[in-house]
């Protein structure tokens, strides 16, 4: 019987166990540049099978939160090299999450105060994290109204995803990349009918609405290979004001289109991100979703996330429901989460007040079992 603690080869990614550190925004990279403190944070978590970094902007246009790292300058790439070197020195495996937030941004974060961009000019009605220009302190603010992207702008955005992937692997030293296709950000905005009301060939029918996602993934695969790439999806989460009327057929169609690209893994958020695992008015059959991928020839590892406990994770892997289980808050508070699960040890409690922004407190000071 396969267990949560068995190694796994997912494409070119070698995992020493099946516990993954989920991508969690921490707002601790001033000026979008990773620091030595970030390197220490990820180094501490290298004993988990896979680390997926916090969402990392592929361009300034893709930046949606203050103090979130990027992948679009030499300084940022050098900062990330500190991180990957630290993780690899401990034998860890680390991928970065490629992020374009689309409409979930603020004019203060955009070049020359430009409006954020989106498939359609529909506000997210959510919040983001900005810096108060008077005090320099971080604070939450309502996202700015977006403008609709012109069709001729899309190739450059797709190319920026590919360039970020190439630089992440070949310059910054990551083992691979994960495309952020979840939680109401740009790729998800194109997928779902609540945010995509375009009349061109990127909107309307499900075949059209998956087009942007498929083109982005293909470009990234061309840049670094499918065996070094994954994608994160959230079929039914309402995060950032996102909604889809018919998620099951849409997302099965997407995975059928992605199956031939031989990705290292598919990462699925089950239910509402950080909330209920089932949503009454948004039923979704995750077993059928996975079957649609496998039946189309998709061979990558299947990763699940959202509200998993140790017992649930053990069962998910043992039953074949998942190959990898990703953890967010528990991985924040327990750098040695896989080892704690292995021993059945108690977990540290997380400090919600220190999740976003701040110093080493609530970031690199959570104790491991030997501390």
Domain-located, residue 228: yes
Concatenated DSSP letters of 86-135: HHHHTT--EEEEEE--TTS--GGGSGGGPPPEESSS-----EEEEE-TTT
Q: Total domain count for the chain?
A: 1
For residue 310, give the DSSP letter: H
Residue 72 falls in the annotated catalytic set: no
Question: How many residues would you count in the chain?
Answer: 371
The pLDDT assigned to 115 comes to 98
Domain contains 1: no
The stretches in the chain having pLDDT less than 50 are none
Q: Is residue 203 part of a domain?
A: yes
Query: Does 2 fall in a domain?
Result: no
- Helix, strand counts (H, E) of the chain: 11, 14
Q: Among 65, 72, 185, 293, which one carries the catalytic annotation?
A: 185
pLDDT value, residue 263? 98
Phi-psi group of 241: left, alpha or beta (phi > 0 → left; psi -120 to 50 → alpha; rest → beta): left
Is residue 258 within 8 Å of 221, Cβ to Cβ? no
Judge contact between 169 and 224, C-beta under 8 A. Answer: yes
Closest CA to 265 of 232, 295, 300, 298: 300
27: which residues sit within 8 A by CB, 6+ positions away?
65, 66, 67, 68, 129, 138, 356, 357, 358
Instruction: Let me know if residue 262 belongs to a domain.
Output: yes
Residue 346 burial (10 A CB sphere; 0-12, 13-18, 19+): exposed
Render the burial of 185-194: b for 16+ CB within 10 Å, e for the rest: bbbbbbbbbe
Q: Domain containing 135: what range?
A: 8-354
Domain membership of residue 361 (yes or no) is no
Give pLDDT, residue 134: 80
31 touches 63 (CB < 8 A): no
Is 264 a member of any domain? yes
51 part of a folded domain: yes
Look at residues 153, 138, 60, 142 and name the one whose alpha carbon lies nearest to residue 100: 60
| Residues 6 or more apart in contact with residue 262 via CB below 8 angstroms | 11, 226, 227, 298, 299, 300
Give the domain CATH number at 296. Answer: 3.20.20.70
Give pLDDT, residue 13. Answer: 98
């Amino acid at each position: 019987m396969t267990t949560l603690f068995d190694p796994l080869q997912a494409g070119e990614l070698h995992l020493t166990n099946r516990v993954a550190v989920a991508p969690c925004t921490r707002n601790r990279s001033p000026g979008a540049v990773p620091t030595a403190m970030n390197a220490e944070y990820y180094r501490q978590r290298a004993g988990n099978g896979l680390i997926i970094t916090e969402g990392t902007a592929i361009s300034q246009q893709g930046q949606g939160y203050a103090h979130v790292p990027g992948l679009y300058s030499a300084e940022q790439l050098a900062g990330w090299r500190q991180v990957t070197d630290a993780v690899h020195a401990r034998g860890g495996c680390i991928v970065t999450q490629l992020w374009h937030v689309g409409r979930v941004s603020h004019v203060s974060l955009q070049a020359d105060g430009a409006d954020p961009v989106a498939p359609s000019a529909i506000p997210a009605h959510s919040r983001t994290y900005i810096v108060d220009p008077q005090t320099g302190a971080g604070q939450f603010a309502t996202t700015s109204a977006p403008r609709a992207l012109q069709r001729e702008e899309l190739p450059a955005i797709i190319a920026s995803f590919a360039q970020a992937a190439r630089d992440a692997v070949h310059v910054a030293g990551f083992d691979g990349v994960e495309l952020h296709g979840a939680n109401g950000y740009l790729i998800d905005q194109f997928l779902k009918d609540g945010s995509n009301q375009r009349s061109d060939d990127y909107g309307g029918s499900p075949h059209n609405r998956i087009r942007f996602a498929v083109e982005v993934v293909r470009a990234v695969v061309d840049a670094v290979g499918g065996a070094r790439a994954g994608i994160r999806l959230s079929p039914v989460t309402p995060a950032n004001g996102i909604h889809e009327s018919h998620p099951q057929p849409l997302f099965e169609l997407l995975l059928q289109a992605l199956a031939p690209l031989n990705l290292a893994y598919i990462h699925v958020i089950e239910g509402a991100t950080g909330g209920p695992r089932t949503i009454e008015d948004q039923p979704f059959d995750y077993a059928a979703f996975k079957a649609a991928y496998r039946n189309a020839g998709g061979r990558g590892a299947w990763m699940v996330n959202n509200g998993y406990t140790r017992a649930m994770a053990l069962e998910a892997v043992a039953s074949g429901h998942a190959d990898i289980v990703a953890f967010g808050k528990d991985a924040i508070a327990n750098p040695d989460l896989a080892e704690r699960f292995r021993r059945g040890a108690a977990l540290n409690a997380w400090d919600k007040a220190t999740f976003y922004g701040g110093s080493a407190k609530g970031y690199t000071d959570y104790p491991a079992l030997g501390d």
